[in-house]
A = this chain, B = another copy of it.
Amino acid sequence: MEQIGSNGQNETLETQELKDHAGQQVKIHGMIHKIRDMSGFAFVILRTKRDLVQGVFTKDSSTPDFASLQEGQSVVMQGEVVLNEKVMNGAEIQIQHLEILSRPADALPIVINRKQLDVPLDTNLSYRPISLRNEKERAIFKIQEGIARGFRDYLISQSFTEIRTPKIVFAGAEGGANIFKLDYFGKQVYLAQSPQFYKQTLVGVYERVFEIAPVYRAEKHDTARHLNEYISMDFEMGFIKDHTDIMAMEVGALKHVFSLLNKEYSKELALFNVKTPVFDTIPAIKFMEAKQILEQQYKRKVTDYYDFEPEEEQLICDYAKKKLGCDFIFITHYPSAKRPFYAMDDDNDPGTTKSFDLLYNGLEITTGGQRIHDYKQQVQKMLDRGMNPEDFESYLMIHRYGMPPHGGLGAGLERLTMKLLGFNNVRHAAMFPRDINRVTP
């Protein structure tokens, strides 16, 4: 019998501390990212958890033989730390020993060790297991980690409870055809398009809840902004006066996200020369106002008074940026006909809902609003739409037995990442994107 304690730390150094060890002998482990062979010496760049670390190999010091080194090997590098302002981390290692822990079987089929991965998107995605080893590619998802973490940390600070709701569901929340079907022991079930029913349900339990989890849309379009599986950052809260309480909570969350990114992810942001948006408030205009701005200020012939076309979202953001000085803009009061059956209508503005989208640099990244909490009102709206309330019996329990006024939103993590980093295709912001043509790797 053995006893296992929690002291299983590696005895090698975390590379962000390198500078503090100037003049000392250290061990660092990592994968060989790049070898630059000079005359008489070589640079061996290690890829560690979050850094690239430069080692200098003097060819006559010579354990092991330089010729045995190869990109893709996992090694422990031992040597003296020497300050050097010109390199990453402000220090490099004069290599005295390199222990090889594992070796690749083949040389890489694409170049991953230049700053920018210089291959077409489709090649990048097909080789994802190794293209993600590129410095900038992996930084994207480190930043994405930070966005989700900031969203979560903020909501926890606001007394939200984190929930995990099922993705195998008996009914779709959004309706329509873009839902994946699944055989479940002989029953037809679906993959959740959103945690809508469950997060509303849990407002009746915890008042404020959030979830960061995958959702599924069987989109048949092959566009630059749709994924068939994506990460939705959802929250839902009770005891609101109207949809503006939800919007205010999102403004707070976004500010916290950008503040966390600047504090803990500046290294990765710097690779993209990205500055996070600065704002104190986010402007909000009504849907019909936005359409008027398109017609009057952008001379656009508006044909669809129920939704925005992608180009219109871009023009509205152009307006927000130039006239209102903000990268973000809320659009409120979407037409009732285009919002789901659970959306709360606005009696002061007939035909519209207490709903909103948030646009960011030309793209919708959030949809939210107040929901109906009254049982009769919800049943009536279902009947008006030709839905059968009996199909939603368990969902309607919350209305039947009492719900506070409430609302919430869903924000797309990949879209937010995409727009922050200035990508033209959301697939750049998905580690392993699923679209109509791709389910591998």
With A74-B404, A101-B404, A184-B180 as given contacts, are A168 and B127 in contact (CB-CB < 8 Å)? no
User: In the complex, which residue of chain B has the Cβ closest to the Cβ of A399?
Assistant: B105
User: In the complex, which residue of chain B has the Cβ closest to the Cβ of A7?
Assistant: B248
- Please choose the segment from A84-92, A203-211, A299-307, A382-390 that sits at the chain B interface, where 4 or more of its residues have CB less than 8 A away: A203-211
Q: Does A318 contact B (CB under 8 A)?
A: no
In contact, A161 and B133 (Cβ under 8 angstroms) = no
In contact, B74 and A249 (Cβ under 8 angstroms) = no
In contact, A166 and B1 (Cβ under 8 angstroms) = no
Q: Does A36 contact B (CB under 8 A)?
A: no
In contact, A440 and B394 (Cβ under 8 angstroms) = yes
User: In the complex, which residue of chain B has the Cβ closest to the Cβ of A5?
Assistant: B281
User: DSSP class of A's interface residues: helix, strand, loop or mixed?
Assistant: mixed
Q: Does A228 contact B (CB under 8 A)?
A: yes
In contact, A214 and B104 (Cβ under 8 angstroms) = no
In contact, B168 and A434 (Cβ under 8 angstroms) = yes
Q: How far is the CA of A191 from the CA of B168 in the complex (A)?
A: 10
- Please choose the segment from A238-246, A334-342, A345-353 that sits at the chain B interface, where 4 or more of its residues have CB less than 8 A away: A238-246
* Selected contact of A376 from candidates B105, B129, B247, CB within 8 Å: B105
* Selected contact of A4 from candidates B202, B239, B284, B373, CB within 8 Å: B284
In contact, B404 and A6 (Cβ under 8 angstroms) = no
Q: Does A374 contact B (CB under 8 A)?
A: yes
Q: What does the 1/0 interface line of A154-174 toward B look like (CB < 8 Å)?
A: 000001011111111110000
In contact, A5 and B130 (Cβ under 8 angstroms) = no
In contact, B401 and A206 (Cβ under 8 angstroms) = no
In contact, B394 and A283 (Cβ under 8 angstroms) = no
With A31-B402, A49-B208 as given contacts, are A101 and B8 in contact (CB-CB < 8 Å)? no
Q: What does the 1/0 interface line of A113-144 toward B look like (CB < 8 Å)?
A: 00000000000001111101100001001101
Q: Does A297 contact B (CB under 8 A)?
A: no
With A130-B398, A168-B434 as given contacts, are A281 and B3 in contact (CB-CB < 8 Å)? yes
Q: How far is the CA of A284 from the CA of B238 in the complex (A)?
A: 47
Residues from 5 to 61 in A contacting B, C-beta threshold 8 Å: 5-8, 10, 12, 14, 29-31, 48-50
In contact, B214 and A108 (Cβ under 8 angstroms) = no
In contact, A394 and B239 (Cβ under 8 angstroms) = no
Q: What does the 1/0 interface line of A197-232 toward B look like (CB < 8 Å)?
A: 110011011111000111010101000000011010
Q: Does A427 contact B (CB under 8 A)?
A: no
In contact, B220 and A1 (Cβ under 8 angstroms) = no
In contact, A6 and B229 (Cβ under 8 angstroms) = no
In contact, B101 and A239 (Cβ under 8 angstroms) = yes
Could you name 28 residue pairs across A and B whose Cβ atoms are closer than 8 Å? A3-B283, A4-B283, A6-B252, A8-B244, A8-B245, A8-B247, A10-B239, A74-B238, A74-B402, A74-B405, A101-B404, A102-B403, A103-B402, A105-B374, A105-B375, A105-B401, A132-B205, A142-B161, A164-B431, A166-B432, A166-B434, A167-B167, A168-B229, A169-B439, A184-B228, A187-B439, A394-B440, A395-B441
Closest 8 CB pairs of A and B: A8-B248, A72-B402, A6-B252, A104-B402, A394-B441, A74-B404, A105-B375, A3-B281
